[in-house]
Amino acid sequence: MENANKYSFKITNILFFFFPVALILGNFFTNLNIVFLIIFSLIFYYDKFFKLKINYLDKIILFFFFFTFVTLILNIFENYINAEITSKIIIIKTLYYLRYLALYFTFRMLVEQKILRLDLFCLICFLCAFFVCFDIYFQSFFGKNLFGMVPGTDTGRHNPGVFDTELIAGGYLQKFALFSFFLPFLFLQNKKIKILIHFVFFIFFTFGILLSGNKMPLYLFITSYFIFLLLNYRSWKHLFSTFVVIFIILSLLYKTNEAYKYNFHTFYDHGKLAIHSFFVDDYNDIPEENWSRSYVLEVQCFKYIWKRNPFFGGGLRSYRTVDGGGCNTHPHNYYFEILTDLGLIGLVIILFFLLKLFSQFFVLKNKWIKLKPNILDNRTFPFFLIFIIEFFPLRSSGSFFSTNNASIIFLVLAILVSLVSKKNLNP
């Protein structure tokens, strides 16, 4: 019996450790990994699922998934009345999305039962991020990566590395490079050496993201580092000195690197146009030449599609079913996408959950909001940083309902909810 338990423990953790590797290999391997992890967890630990204490955060997650079905049924009924056919994409995506509910509660159980080795998982995440980053450097300097893949037509601006034609390398590093700040061998007694090593890793991954050509992940990663310094060291001196160094480096890049200068200007211009177009009611007030900008088009598509079903939305992935207008497959913002697919009610459910979870980590002390003492350790801190940045509202992003993003989101949420549950969260 003891050998069987060891066997179950090893298989489950191997599948867990494969998660960051599967994200590199693609959606097929990610979905396969999710299915295997859920099935084997049910086989090995089915009795422990019944021992899981459901708290109010879990109940909100359950209600969110229930609401996706409510939205689906309402849209089917509305389409039936209007003699329209409900898109098969919406039906299939809604049903298939249930795998993330199963994944969430699988991780909840595994973390609560202390089955998962979070320390080794952090190490593997770092190794995967280091490999992806090194491959980007290699591709940038030699014109092709370690596997012989060459960048696309915009050579010099994007280096996707192992992700080939998908320009997501920067987004991958923005999340998984955070684990480099919490590796066991960095936990030295000398505080200055720790900060120095952290900064070396930060520079290594920052330039890797820069070379990948992904603009938003670069600024999000820098923001993550500042949040890490502020919450981990609680020193304004270190924060200010780091800010000065980073500002000098980015200023030099702006003066000497044309690719970075181009990316900076396009990021600024597109962001300004997107914000402007969001508050424009009359489309004629938007100059015709700006309609070719993807950011402007995405904002206008969001406004048009959301107004069709403002309270309940059009159903999961309904954004991609809208014909004409040149709309993309999703509006490149989590909150916009939730509004179009699940409406205001769906957004309220998500925001309520996020605020409830976020509030569990902070306490009001001496009129200041501070991180609760001893609530985060070195294994869970990077998940908390991913949570903060992932749901930062003023950012462009992939789809909230896509395989890669949904897998990461529900992994992070399950781990954090399990953590606060241990800290006497009332069910």
Q: What is the pLDDT of residues 361-385, one digit of tens each?
A: 887 676 667 788 778 887 888 999 9
Q: How confident is the model at residue 397 (pLDDT cuts 50, 70, 90)?
A: confident
Mean pLDDT of 334-345: 93
Residue 123 maps to a domain: no
User: Out of 61-70, 283-292, 349-358, which region has the weakest mean confidence (pLDDT)?
Assistant: 283-292
Q: What is the 3-state secondary structure (H, E, C) of 174-232?
A: HHHHHHHHHCHHHCCCCHHHHHHHHHHHHHHHHHHHHHHCCHHHHHHHHHHHHHHHHHH
Q: What is the pLDDT of residues 136-193, one digit of tens each?
A: 999 988 888 888 888 765 545 688 889 988 888 999 999 999 999 887 666 666 777 7
Residue 48 maps to a domain: no
Is the pLDDT at 427 greater than 50? The verdict is no
Q: What is the pLDDT of residues 190-205, one digit of tens each?
A: 777 777 888 889 899 9
Structural element, H or E, at residue 63: helix 56-81
Angle at which helix 56-81 crosses helix 403-422, to 10 degrees, equals 150
Coil, strand or helix: which one is 362?
strand
Structural element, H or E, at residue 263: helix 258-278
pLDDT at 1: 46
Residue 144 maps to a domain: no
Instruction: Count structural domains, the chain.
Output: 1
- With a pLDDT cut of 70, the percent of the chain lying above it is 80
Calculate the CA dihedral of residues 394, 397, 400, 402 and round it to 10 degrees: 180
Residue 155 maps to a domain: no
pLDDT at 175: 95
pLDDT at 332: 81
| Size of the chain, expressed as the number of residues it contains | 427
Reported pTM: 0.88
Residue 1 maps to a domain: no
Residue 35 maps to a domain: no
Residue 294 maps to a domain: yes
Q: Which domain holds residue 300?
A: 56-114+182-422
Nearest in space to 405 (alpha carbons), one of 236, 107, 174, 211: 174
User: Out of 10-14, 176-180, 188-192, 395-399, which region has the weakest mean confidence (pLDDT)?
Assistant: 188-192
Structural element, H or E, at residue 365: strand 362-365
pLDDT at 177: 95
pLDDT at 380: 86
Q: Which residues pair with 159 in a beta bridge?
A: none
Is the pLDDT at 103 greater than 80? The verdict is yes
Residue 132 maps to a domain: no
Nearest in space to 399 (alpha carbons), one of 281, 316, 321: 316
Nearest in space to 390 (alpha carbons), one of 426, 344, 357: 357
